[in-house]
Structures are given as structure tokens and as C-alpha cells.
């Protein structure tokens, strides 16, 4: 089987990791995130599509039971929030996101039912109305670990920058520990020059606004992202195990469902290797879903038996092995060292 190496170019910062492309299917029910998308109790703001279509006020539901680490996805309407969430965590193909409907209330997605990584991601409707009394933003921000603000780089982004500033400054005042990420999104539609210029401009303006407001300590991290050319990547923060002398070129310990890597060896992470390993997981799970389940459809697509070796046409071998119910070790090896070690 000849697998192609991934996206057309690497994302600027390899820290950001992400979804894979390819298969349009969702995970089967027993493999996915279970009861996804608990909805917030209250409907969002005024009429559909109305400006400032307020976020649902989760009220008591926001804090209480939801003690898992929480990531918020915010940004103007149509900036691509739900698409990011669906592609990265639900195996939706980027093309399918064209048919996503606008979100009109907060979707809380629990990324923990079948995943090693425990957190919730809350996908917000286009615009939050901080003046809506039913929306208890203080409570939401207080329990939040990270806020991702998505800006559509193909659109006029002035309004987005204004909202970004309002949002992060309110969030920071409530919870100065929060991490702020700005996704300069949909950069697939921009030329390289335009992309760099847009990135620089957004960076500059957003930081100027913070300086003017005396919020220099509020740190925003910027990433250029898109779902169509580069895969979007979520951070694999722990580089801890070493593959030196093992004949392994690169090794990742993956959370299978989210494809977040929990650990990798000490060599630098390059996007091609990461994407190749993500593709390997997709191939294994897809084949297993089709041929690995029992005739009555029971059984699991990923279990103790899960193991696969794929030889590529460039003397490279991909190796995947189940480690725990949620984790897989995926390695890239040279063919000769694979044969030597057996």
C-alpha cells in the first residue's frame, strides 16, 4: 500500500496538532466519544442569525458537574469553530464541514468517554453577548483552562479583532491563569505572502489593543490554521521517551480517538511524520471497523489485539500497537532495522 505523505506544508508551529483528513465516516458509536454534545440548557440569544446571537447561558450546568478541564471555542459566526471541533475530534472530513449549520447554542463535547485525554470542548455560537444577563460568563471563564478564538483570515477581520479583545480581556480578568490561543483560520485561501502579512497584522493589532488597555501580561498565542491543506494539530506536550539506538526513526504515543500525542521521543516532531502516523491510525481503525467486528456488529474496533504493520514503498515501515484501551504506540522505522529486530 502506498501511503502518501500528508499535507502540502507544515503548520508554522508544530505544537499545534490535529485532525486527520480522509475518511468521511464518524467513529462507530462504541468507539467514539459516546454521548457527545450535551447541550447547554438555555437557547442562545435572539433570533437566528441575529447579531450578537447570544450564547446559551449554561447557568448551573457550567460549573458544577463539569469539573473536567475545559476548552472554549469562540469567534465570529462562520469563522470555522464547529468545523475544527468536528474534524479534529469526530473524524468529519473537511469537505463535510461545508454543510454544517450555524451553531445557535453552546455545544459541550465531552472528550473523555473513550479517550485518555480528559477534557471538554465547548463550541460557542458565533458571537457572545456579554451583556445578556442569562449568560454567566464569569462562571464559564472561571472553570476554563484554555480559550481558542477563531478568526476567519479570508474575511475582513476588524470586527473579529474587536470581539477578540473584549472576550480575552473579560476572560483574563475573571481567570488570569487561562491560556489564550488565536487561530488565524482558513489560511488555505491565502497566498503565502498574504498569509504572512495577515498573520503579522492580526498579531500586531491584537497586541496593540492589549497594550493600550494595560493588559501586557495577557499572552496570546497565534497559529495559522486551516482544515483543507494542513491538518490542524493539537499539542502533544510531553516529549519524554527516547528512541535512540532502537532503530525507530520516530515514535508517538497517541490517544487513539483524538489523535493527540501524549508523548513522543526526543527527536524533533515534523508534520509529515505526525500526519503519517495519524493516517496509520485511521487506516487501522477503518479496516478494523469494516472487517474486525463480529457478524452481528458487536466487538470493538480497537482492543488488545490491535496491531498493524504497513510497509511503505520508500523502505519505511509503520508500526502500530495497542498500549491501553485508549492509547496506541505508533512508530516509523527503517525497513532494515525493522527486519533486524524482528
Site for ligand GTP in 223-262 (CB under 6 A): 226-228
Binds 20, which of ligand GTP, Mg ion, none (CB < 5 to 8 A, cut-off by type)?
none
Q: Which three cell numbers stand for residue 156?
A: 475582513
* Spatial distance between the Cα atoms of 218 and 203, rounded to a whole number of angstroms: 13
Q: Tell me: does residue 79 bind ligand GTP (CB under 6 A).
A: yes
Q: Using CB under 5 A, pick the residue from 79, 103, 231, 258 that binds Mg ion.
A: 103
Which one of ligand GTP, Mg ion, none interacts with residue 56, CB within 5 to 8 A by kind? none
- Dump the DSSP string for 231-293: PP-----EE----TTTTEEEEEEEETTT--EEEE-SSPP-HHHHHHHHHHHHHHHHHIIIIIS
Q: How far apart are CA 243 and CA 231, in angstroms?
A: 25
**Site membership for Mg ion, residue 83 (CB under 5 A):** no
Q: Is residue 132 close enough to count as binding ligand GTP by CB under 6 A? A: no
Q: Choosing among ligand GTP, Mg ion, none, which partner's interface includes residue 36 (Cβ < 5 to 8 Å by kind)?
A: none
Q: Is residue 155 a contact point for ligand GTP (CB under 6 A)?
A: no
Contact pick of 125, 128, 141, 258 for ligand GTP (by CB under 6 A): 125
- For ligand GTP, which stretch binds (CB under 6 A), given 61-69, 186-194, 205-213, 214-222? 186-194
DSSP state of 10: -
Taking the complex as a whole, the smallest distance from the CB of residue 221 to ligand GTP amounts, in Å, to 18
* Residue 285 vs residues 1, 41, 114: alpha-carbon distances, Å: 16, 34, 14
Give the whole-angstrom CA distance, residue 128 versus residue 53.
7
- Binding site partner of 179, from ligand GTP, Mg ion, none, Cβ cut-off 5-8 A by kind: none
Query: In the bound complex, what is the minimum distance in angstroms from residue 158's beta carbon to ligand GTP?
Result: 17
- Closer CB to ligand GTP, 224 or 273, in the complex: 224
Which residue in the set 108, 163, 186, 223 belongs to the binding site for ligand GTP (CB under 6 A)?
Answer: 186
Task: Give the integer Cα–Cα distance in Å for 15 and 33.
Answer: 24
Question: Which range touches ligand GTP (CB under 6 A), out of 56-64, 221-229, 249-257, 297-305?
Answer: 221-229
Among 17, 21, 71, 81, binds ligand GTP (CB under 6 A): 81
- Supply 34's cell numbers: 459516546
For position 9 contacting ligand GTP by CB under 6 A, the verdict is no
Site track for Mg ion across 238-257, x = CB under 5 A = --------------------
Nearest to ligand GTP of 11, 329 (CB atom): 11
CB nearer to Mg ion: give 109 or 255: 109
- Tell me if 185 contacts ligand GTP by CB under 6 A: yes
DSSP element (H, E) containing 202:
helix 192-212
Task: Give the list of residues 6+ apart from residue 257 with CB closer than 8 angstroms, or none.
Answer: 27, 31, 32, 33, 89, 111, 114, 115, 326
CA atoms within 13 A on the CB side of 309: 10
Closest CA to 7 of 188, 269, 230, 280: 230
Total Cβ atoms within 10 A of residue 333: 24
Task: Please report, as ranges, the residues that interact with ligand GTP according to CB under 6 A.
Answer: 75, 77-83, 97-98, 100, 102-103, 125-126, 185-186, 188-189, 226-228
Amino acid at each position: 500500500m502506498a501511503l502518501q505523505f500528508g499535507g502540502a506544508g507544515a503548520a508554522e508551529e508544530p505544537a499545534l496538532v490535529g485532525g486527520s483528513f480522509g475518511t468521511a465516516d464518524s467513529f462507530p458509536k462504541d468507539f467514539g466519544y459516546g454521548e457527545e454534545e450535551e447541550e447547554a440548557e438555555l437557547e442562545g440569544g435572539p433570533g437566528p442569525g441575529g447579531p450578537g446571537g447570544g450564547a446559551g447561558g449554561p447557568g448551573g450546568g457550567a460549573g458544577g458537574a463539569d469539573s473536567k478541564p475545559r476548552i472554549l471555542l469562540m469567534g465570529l459566526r462562520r469563522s470555522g469553530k464547529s468545523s475544527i471541533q468536528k474534524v479534529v475530534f469526530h473524524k468529519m472530513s473537511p469537505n463535510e464541514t461545508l454543510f454544517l449549520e450555524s451553531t445557535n447554542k453552546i455545544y459541550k463535547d465531552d472528550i473523555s468517554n473513550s479517550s485518555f485525554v480528559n477534557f471538554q470542548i465547548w463550541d460557542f455560537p458565533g458571537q457572545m453577548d456579554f451583556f445578556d444577563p442569562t449568560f454567566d460568563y464569569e462562571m464559564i471563564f472561571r472553570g476554563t483552562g484554555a480559550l481558542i478564538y477563531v478568526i476567519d483570515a479570508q474575511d475582513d477581520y476588524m470586527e473579529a479583532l474587536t470581539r477578540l479583545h473584549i472576550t480575552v480581556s473579560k476572560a483574563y480578568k475573571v481567570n488570569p491563569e487561562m491560556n489564550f490561543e488565536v487561530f488565524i483560520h482558513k489560511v488555505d485561501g491565502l497566498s503565502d505572502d498574504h498569509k504572512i502579512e495577515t498573520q503579522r497584522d492580526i498579531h500586531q493589532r491584537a497586541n496593540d489593543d492589549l497594550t493600550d488597555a494595560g493588559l501586557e501580561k495577557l499572552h496570546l498565542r497565534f497559529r495559522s490554521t486551516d482544515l483543507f491543506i494542513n491538518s490542524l494539530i493539537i499539542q502533544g506536550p510531553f516529549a519524554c521517551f527516547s528512541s535512540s539506538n532502537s532503530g525507530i526513526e520516530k515514535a508517538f504515543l497517541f490517544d487513539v480517538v483524538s489523535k493527540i500525542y501524549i508523548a513522543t521521543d526526543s527527536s524533533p516532531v515534523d508534520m509529515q511524520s505526525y500526519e503519517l502516523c495519524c493516517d496509520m491510525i485511521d487506516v487501522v481503525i477503518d479496516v478494523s471497523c469494516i472487517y474486525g467486528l463480529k457478524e452481528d456488529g458487536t466487538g470493538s474496533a480497537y482492543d488488545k489485539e490491535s496491531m498493524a504493520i504497513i510497509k511503505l514503498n520508500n523502505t519505511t515501515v509503520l508500526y502500530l500497537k495497542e498500549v491501553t484501551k485508549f492509547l496506541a504506540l505508533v512508530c516509523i522505522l527503517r525497513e532494515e532495522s525493522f527486519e533486524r529486530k524482528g
